[in-house]
Homo-oligomer: A and B are copies of this chain.
């Protein structure tokens, strides 16, 4: 293997695959990045067994030469040192040559580096996925759907299936669900052209989807998704992102969403968020995060919290629309703030079926989003 490659393009590509580099050393080869050079360009691969990412650097792009290939070949280079040193090389062009025993010589400007490379044959082969049923959606939409649900996943390894986000696709409706048993977030999108595709109980680790989000560029680019038996492949421009589907059956969450409500309040999202935030500051000191919400006779709501040591916070918030009965409810304000952070709609409806029943949050302009928070069971 012998090439000259432009530093910026190499760095960008390394940036993509580096999210899959393993820091655990149980499989030493996975602490490296695999280089495969053909006359078409360079393919970088990294894998931590849960996620594998492959990024392709074409030899030419827009008639600009990015890689000059003198000799094809492949090698695995230790990622941690390699990733950092490439960023700091002095010249915009980098020469790489692999010699006897995978010794790799890198030079740039007057800097010469020799790295002990590893045998690329030892690097695991990526799963082959048949690309029959591809779902395409805009990158921005996918990022939004992840952001608006991932915060509700469980962080407890005792229920591994709940550390993932559930995906369902049928009748052009693509739906994400996340729950940690105390709260639930769902977000759906209507996807044209997916009539022939459907799947259910596809659960992908929330952590993995957050990493995927970082790779999706800000320009509104289509992301292709291929769901296979136990793997999902994402295709984003020149990057392939593979992840495994979590084992197990995701619990049925449809039961906990009420269909009729006793009380519905329409509120300003930003004002509610700021108000809960102030009450949260005090409730946090009590470790419970409990905040109370109570309708007032003048039609507004009171938001309050108290701490035996520190004091009290109390304020009134204007209700834009009020339907149903008066109410008084306590909840974990941190969970409410998590929802309010991702709601983009200027107004939302909070709906209740009783003091001990789930609290529903429905953003007014986002009919395909719905959030549920279980109330805090208090005796007074």
Contacts and interface: CB of A to CB of B under 8 A. Distances in A.
Nearest to A314: B112
13 contacts: A78-B310, A81-B285, A85-B313, A88-B274, A88-B277, A89-B278, A103-B311, A110-B315, A110-B317, A112-B314, A113-B312, A113-B313, A114-B312
Given A110-B315, A285-B81, A315-B110, A115 B310 contact: yes
A342 interface: no
A178 interface: no
A1 interface: no
Interface string A99-114: 0000110000111111
User: Which of A88, A311, A313, A317: most chain B CB closer than 10 A?
Assistant: A311
A278 B315 contact: no
Interface in A111-134: 111-116
A112 B302 CA distance: 11
Interface in A59-118: 78, 80-81, 84-85, 88-90, 103-104, 109-116
Given A90-B274, A274-B90, A277-B88, A282 B112 contact: no
Nearest to A116: B311
Contacts of A240: none
Contacts of A315: 109-112
Nearest to A107: B315
Given A85-B313, A113-B314, A114-B312, 8 more contacts: A85-B281, A88-B277, A110-B317, A111-B314, A114-B311, A115-B310, A116-B309, A116-B310
Contact of A282 (B85, B281, B282, B310): B85
Contacts of A84: 281
Contact of A112 (B90, B110, B113, B313): B313
Given A310-B78, A310-B116, A281 B88 contact: yes
Q: How many copies does the complex hold?
A: 2
A244 to B, nearest CB: 31
A316 interface: yes
A374 to B, nearest CB: 26
A116 B308 CA distance: 9
A110 B318 CA distance: 10
Contact of A311 (B113, B277, B278, B285): B113
A81 B281 contact: yes
Interface in A261-276: 274-275
Contacts of A316: 110
B310 A111 contact: no
Nearest to A285: B81
A240 to B, nearest CB: 28
A14 to B, nearest CB: 14
B81 A115 contact: no
Nearest to A316: B110
Nearest to A307: B81
